[in-house]
Amino acid sequence: MNNYQIELNARHRPEVLERILRVIRHRGFTVTTMKMELIEDKVRLKITVKSDRTLNLLVNQLVKLPDVVEIN
């Protein structure tokens, strides 16, 4: 399995974390670590995931979420 680290910024809304985690799970990735910071009206997430799939499959779905502002 490959490990990948994703850093993303999203708008601070009650449901944003749930939506991000749902996309990660539905795409066949497993979260191994996660760090979250609240900065003003945005949330910064640093997530490490593992999967046999390529990271592009996950990133392409995360950018479609309306509250996700930036992904690194």
The CATH number linked to 40 is: 3.30.70.260
pTM (2 d.p.): 0.89
The pLDDT tens digits of the residues spanning 10-66 come to 999 989 999 999 999 999 999 999 999 999 899 999 999 999 999 999 999 999 999
The encoded tokens of residue 2 equal 């490959």
Residue 58 phi/psi, 5-degree rounding, is -75, -45
Q: Which of 2, 36, 62, 29 is nearest to 72 (CA)?
A: 62
Residue 53 phi/psi, 5-degree rounding, is -80, 165
Q: Say what the pLDDT of residue 35 is.
A: 97
Q: Say what the pLDDT of residue 7 is.
A: 97
Q: Say what the pLDDT of residue 21 is.
A: 96
The encoded tokens of residue 52 equal 């046999």
In three-state secondary structure terms, 69 is strand
The parent domain of residue 27 ranges over: 2-71
Total count of domains within the chain: 1
Q: Amino acid identity of 23?
A: V
